[in-house]
Chains A and B, each alone.
Chain A
Amino acid sequence: MNATVTAPVRRSPLAHRSAMSAPDDLLHLSERAFDAKIVLRGLPEVLAPAIEKVTGLAMPEATRSTANDAHRLLWQSPDEFLLLGPVDGEPELMTALTAELDGRHVQIVNVTDYHTTLVLSGPKARETLMTLSTLDLHPRGFTVDQVAGTTFGHALGWLVQTGDDAAEGGPVFEVLVRWSHADYLFCELTHGARAFGMPEARPVSGELMEI
């Protein structure tokens, strides 16, 4: 076999978008592509020792996440967790977790390419999310490390707060959104933030639908 191909090119779902900001640092929106993402299904007590050993993370409580410098572990359901890790880290994580959990009733699935991560930060981040989400996103209702799978307009996503409201620059939220909804959600967020001076990103269009 004489396969001859060019060097692989990796493109994120929002490769065609640049980070956007509202004036006065009210809001920043960007994509953080290629984080390692691994779904772990299994009972927490089964998963816990392996995750602890491989990542150093404890299992999160319901609707919460745990994090250290390199990883974040999101609760998604009583038997489903989403592990985020460093870019290009998924092969090592998969290998290590698979080895640790060998023979146990678990499922370890690489979903690195399934989602991308939108990062929304700034004093107006909460209000912007409120244009699309029915969650209680008041600081009393949604706090650091909290996790929720919900709809943002017509897109599905997992929301996690990663940065504290009191910190410099305001709160930081991350939304894990599937590839095919990423552009819609990116544009909806800029659209929802127009009132704060955010320039608007329009969804890509131009598809010919007529014969």
Chain B
Amino acid sequence: MSQPYRIPGRGLINRDRSVSFTFDGREIPGYEGDTIASALLANGEIMVGRSFKYHRPRGIVGAGGDDPAAMVQIGSDPASTDPNVMVTTREIHAGLEARSQNCWPSLKHDVGVLNDVFMRFFPAGFYYKTFMGSDRFRWLNWMTFEPFIRRAAGLGKSPTKPDPDSYESVNRHCDVLVIGAGPAGLAAAANAARSGARVILVEETDRLGGSLNATDPDGTTIGGKAPADWIADQTAKLAEHPEVTVLTQTTAFGYYAMNFVGLIERVKDHLPEHRRDRRQPRQRVWRVRAKQVVLATGAIERPLVFNENDRPGIMLAGAVRTFLNRYGVLAGKRVLIFTNNDSAWQTAFDIRAAGGEVAGIVDLRRELNEAMALRALKAGIAVYPRTAIVGTHGRHRIDSAFVSSLDDNGNVRGSRSRIECDLIAVSGGWNPNVALFAQSRGKLKWDEELASFRPGLSWQQERSAGACNGTLELQEVLAEGSKAGLEAARAADFTVRAIRQPEVRTDAVETLNLVPVWQVPSGLPREKTKAFVDLQDDVKASDLQLATEEGYDSVEHTKRYTTQGMGTDQGKISNVNAFGIMAEARGITVPEVGTTTFRQPYRPVTIGALGGQHVGAHFMPRRGTPMHAWHLEQKAIFEPVGDWLRARAYPKPGESFHDAVQREAKAARTTAGILDATTLGKIDIRGKDARTFLNRVYTNAWSKLAPGRCRYGLMLGEDGMVSDDGVTACIADDHFHMTTTTGGAASVLQKLEDYLQTEWPDLDVWLTTVTEQWAVAAVCGPKAEEIVASVVEGIDLDPEEFPFMTWQDGTVGGIPVRVFRVSFTGETSYEINIPATYGRWLWEELIAAGKPHGLTPYGTEAMHLLRAEKGFIIVGQETDGTVTPGDLRMDWAVAKKKGDFIGKRSLSRSDTVRDDRKQLVGLLTVDGDHVPMEGAQIIGTPEEPAPPVPMLGHVTSAYFSPNLGRSIAMAMVKRGGQRMGETVWIARLGDKPVPAKIVHYDFLGDAVGEAA
């Protein structure tokens, strides 16, 4: 077996189950429980990709979600390939294909590396300066160069085909949400669970235990048990509580208002194809509303910023320990430790305990912990106090480090000496992982001992416990976790008593004694020092310093100028170092510099997962009428209206859409047409003050409308602009049936309720929507009476008995119907309302009855055409929220004397009474075959003058009218009402304006004849 870096007897991987995968086509052996990173390291592979800007080799730095740049492309299928997957977080499985990214033609021979050679010429803000600001490069404008730069930069490749996977989002409420299942989180969850509270415990990796999984199993006991046994105990206890949910492979990615937390569960990514349950989504978003949250998200180690610190083989000291103890991999054969604090020494001790070789401990501090130094001495480890690594060597993996000792001022003193090593384990300290805390809008506090931020003041119902709170000693971590769990349960109104804490015995280094060093001196001039801060975005300490010199004081501006922390890792290990470097450059403290904003998501979330199940056919409801299936059977063409789908036209086989509309509109005027008008909004209005109410919400008068009669009404906003229209019928003195536009149904009801509830609570009126109670078939045309008569019983259709703008109750086959004699076409028309469950049946009865009379179903397009012939407006087509009744020249619909109504006062505002407002007119193009484009601008000259072009108005509707044999259009034109007979011109893009004559918009009236 290969895997030369695997340490026998170490790690929590399953050595009985070999698993192999491919990396850049090569087969890599590993074990069940390995991540891509641990398996690569077991095989001596440490370089996995190249950096964003300079294409420098990038290796594995972290051991979990903190790694900055070790990302791969998973799979090669153009639909399911997954870019930017962190090798440290993806478990391996049979069939997994990983590829290095951002390098061409191959990982080790990359053309983009030329950027590296010219690194000196790509300082902070290079792109801004070169392509946006400088006169010198004006010819090289950004628009021209952007595509090339984008192609050369970037990380993985996006999939190019639709995502074949399914996703799901689910909602949950819980009492206590515990984020992180390390020692603090486990203690918190176990204690909260005892109260009977609903607990959700979230763990990002595949295994509970967190940092305990990364400790030397022989060095620590909890309550007399090995860490693994204690974890197993806690896990078993949690399983006993029915109200506890434990989610592994799940990341809390966002902490939002009022304890709303987004979790992303990777359901199947880590499983081989044959173990993926087809019924399960690939990933699941949990939208959790928690009464209380316990944050136990641990701490993230930060590296030291030193010259040539970005070579593969330079790894965080804690990560080295994690790979060793959790995965049984010692990532180097000869490891050099470089630190400014005690914690990294444990890495040296663990390596020695596992039989590995330590090249030495290079420590920036002068004062060292004596006991620890003695322990190193006993272990045969060379210690270099007050020493710095000033350079490294090795292209695709380091082979040596150069060290120099430091003087009292922290400057390099004396010559460089070379230490051979193939791995540098580096630690610059630990940053409490405060990302979620900061997202919750809690305030951070600068901790001098940690030289980092930790939670200060809470804003939401949460508490932090363990390393994320700056607590590093295990005994304290457990105590804090237990306390947080108990307090959270109690705060959620549960009762629970504390129990005795298990005692921790450990020989692990738990002290820090950190001396912050934000940038390690190299002894070289700044421009020759390649000290990287952000390994993903290739931001160097010198870039941050240059930005400061150029005047970037705000940390948020410096971030954007240098791209510090702007990669997919969001600067997890690098931001605090960057703040430190900025602080030093400005001669102020880090808290004075401040921090950038911790934004959601904590880690990238697949957009598909956020979309969840609401995609494709499930994207939104397709509201159809009871007659919808009939329209479908007729192969109607549909259009969305609001959220409804309405039949737009019914082309016959071989017939074009245009021809179908012409045929339908012709039939509706010459024989008969039938329209599915179900979608019109319908509101039942009842109460003794119903008339008063209608008087106030419509512009016209309702006091005298007798039962049995209908009236058209215009509804305004308080700004005087037309917002809806429709016909309302008087059923009884205190009972009305209002119709609204299809799209306006919901908003009109809201508006009416608003006025009733808040402005006129004294009015005795009730409103109930009945839109979908009724299916509506509108039959119109010369033959309509005959057709309706053959179907409807109990109504005398004689126009004398059943005049225009009245309604009557009847029956069809014994089913009660209500018929309205109203018209949206100008033809005799009957709108037959029947309970919706009979809608399809009624429709088919009418179709059958109408067949001998040439009854033709028409869609919404013909409906638009027919109403335009008659000059009826459509709210939202002729109007756009800036149009008054006067602008529509519908003053007849405004009763000025009846008292106040919504918007009345606005109709006499100086602006609404201007005499140069646009007014609705009809337009007849001189060439009757030309149908103008809706929205086209209207000008006053035959030729389009040079801009700015004075514009008179615009076309709102335009059709070819089959009944008039020519085109008709409606338009809003300045002073239109006074321009009858004038000629205007309709502008066209890239073509000559078209002349048209202004006429009255009732084209069935005298307009056409007069124009001719």
Binding site for B on A (CB under 8 A): 1-13, 16, 33-34, 39, 41-42, 79-80, 105-107, 109-115, 127, 130-131, 133-136, 138, 140-141, 153-155, 178-181, 183-185, 187-188, 191-192, 194-197, 202-211
In the complex, the answer to whether A12 meets B773 with C-beta atoms within 8 Å is no
- Between A and B, 7 residue pairs with Cβ closer than 8 Å are A1-B796, A6-B813, A9-B838, A113-B772, A194-B280, A195-B168, A209-B637
Contacts of A11 in B (CB 8 A): 626, 837-841
CB-defined contacts of A5 to chain B, threshold 8 Å: 791, 812-813, 845, 849
Return A46 CB to nearest CB of chain B, in Å: 11
Minimum C-beta distance from B493 to chain A (A):
11
Question: How many interface contacts (CB-CB < 8 Å) are there between A and B?
Answer: 184
List residues of B whose CB falls within 8 A of some A CB.
166, 168-173, 198, 277, 279-281, 287, 289, 613-614, 617-618, 620-626, 629, 632, 635-640, 644-645, 657, 684, 686-688, 764, 766-774, 789-796, 812-815, 835-841, 845, 849
* Given A134-B171, A195-B280, A208 contacting B614 (CB threshold 8 A): no
Cα of A8 to Cα of B835 in the assembled complex, Å: 12
CA distance A34 to B621 in the complex (A): 22
Chain B, residue nearest A180 (CB):
B623
Distance (whole angstroms) from the CB of B814 to the closest CB of chain A: 7
Asked if A154 contacts B614 (CB within 8 A), the reply is yes
Contact of A109 among B277, B768, B840 (CB under 8 A): B768
Q: Which of B166, B171, B796 has the most CB of A within 10 A?
A: B171
User: Separation in Å of the B331 CB from the closest CB of chain A?
Assistant: 39
Q: Given the interface contacts A11-B626, A111-B768, A113-B773, does A2 sit within 8 Å of B790 by beta carbon?
A: yes
Query: CA A192 – CA B168 in complex, angstroms?
Result: 8
Check A9–B840 contact: CB distance below 8 A.
yes
The answer to whether B841 and A9 touch across the interface, beta carbons within 8 angstroms, is: yes
Q: In the complex the two chains form, what is the Cα distance from A8 to B559 in whole Å?
A: 71
Contacting A7 at CB < 8 Å: which of B171, B622, B813?
Answer: B813
Q: List chain B residues, Cβ under 8 A from A184.
A: 618, 620-622
**Residues of A contacting B614 in the complex (Cβ-Cβ under 8 angstroms):** 153-154
8 Å CB contact of A208 from B635, B814, B839: B635
Looking across the interface, which residue of chain A has its beta carbon closest to that of B649?
Answer: A211
Q: Which residues from chain A contact B767 at a C-beta distance below 8 Å?
A: 107
How many Å lie between the Cα of A154 and that of B612 in the bound state? 13
**Provided the pairs A3-B790, A5-B813 are in contact, do residues A136 and B173 lie with their beta carbons within 8 angstroms?**
yes
Please determine whether A10 and B768 come into contact, CB atoms closer than 8 angstroms: no
Chain B residues near A8: list those with CB within 8 A.
812-815, 838, 841
Q: How far is the CA of A187 from the CA of B613 in the complex (A)?
A: 11
Min CB gap A108→B, angstroms: 8
Bound CA–CA A5/B769 (angstroms): 30
Contact residues in B for A109 (Cβ distance below 8 Å):
684, 686, 768, 770, 773
- Which residue of A114, A197, A202 contacts B772 across the interface (Cβ within 8 Å)? A114
A141 to B291, CA, bound (A): 13
Residues on B with C-beta less than 8 A from A179 are: 626, 772, 836
Q: Which residues of A contact B793 (CB under 8 A)?
A: 1, 3
Is the Cβ of B637 less than 8 Å from the Cβ of A211? yes
Indicate which residue in A3, A115, A134, A180 contacts B287 across the interface (CB closer than 8 Å).
Answer: A134
Contact A133 to B171, CB < 8 A, known contacts A8-B814, A105-B688, A138-B198 = yes
* Nearest chain B CB to A121 CB, angstrom units: 19
Residue numbers in A under 8 Å from B613 (CB-CB):
131, 153, 188, 191-192
A211–B688 Cα distance when bound, in Å, is 49
Counting chain A CB atoms within 10 Å of each CB, which of B279, B766, B771 scores highest? B766
A3 touches B172 (CB 8 A): no
Q: Are the CB atoms of A10 and B841 closer together than 8 Å?
A: yes
Q: B645 contacts A207, CB within 8 Å?
A: yes
Please, which residue of chain A has its CB at the minimum distance from the CB of B816? A91
| Chain B residues whose CB sits within 8 angstroms of the CB of A105 once the complex forms | 687-688, 764, 766
- When the two chains form their complex, are residues A131 and B772 in contact, meaning their CB atoms are under 8 A apart? no
Pick the contact of A141 from B173, B687, B794 — CB < 8 Å? B173
Q: What's the Cα separation between A206 and B620 when bound, in Å? A: 15
A114-B836, A138-B198 as given contacts; A195 in contact with B617, CB under 8 Å: no
- How near does chain B come to A182, taking the closest CB pair, in angstroms? 9
* Contact B838 A10, beta carbon cutoff 8 Å: yes
B621 touches A155 (CB 8 A): yes
B773 touches A112 (CB 8 A): yes
A16 touches B629 (CB 8 A): yes
State how many angstroms separate the Cβ of B657 from the closest Cβ of chain A. Answer: 4
B790 neighbours in A (Cβ, 8 Å) = 2-4
Cα–Cα, bound, A130→B629 (Å): 31
Q: How far is the CA of A140 from the CA of B173 in the complex (A)?
A: 10
Chain B residues lying within 8 Å of A4, measured Cβ to Cβ, are 790
Known: A115-B772, A211-B657. 18 other contacts (CB 8 A): A1-B792, A5-B813, A6-B813, A13-B626, A34-B837, A80-B768, A107-B684, A107-B766, A113-B772, A114-B770, A131-B168, A131-B170, A134-B287, A138-B198, A140-B198, A194-B280, A206-B632, A208-B637
Neighbouring A residues of B169 by C-beta, 8 Å: 131
Can you name the residue of chain B whose Cβ is closest to the Cβ of A193?
A: B279
Of the candidates A110, A180, A188, the one whose C-beta lies within 8 Å of that of B644 is: A180
Of A153, A154, A180, A203, most buried by chain B (CB within 10 Å of CB) is A180
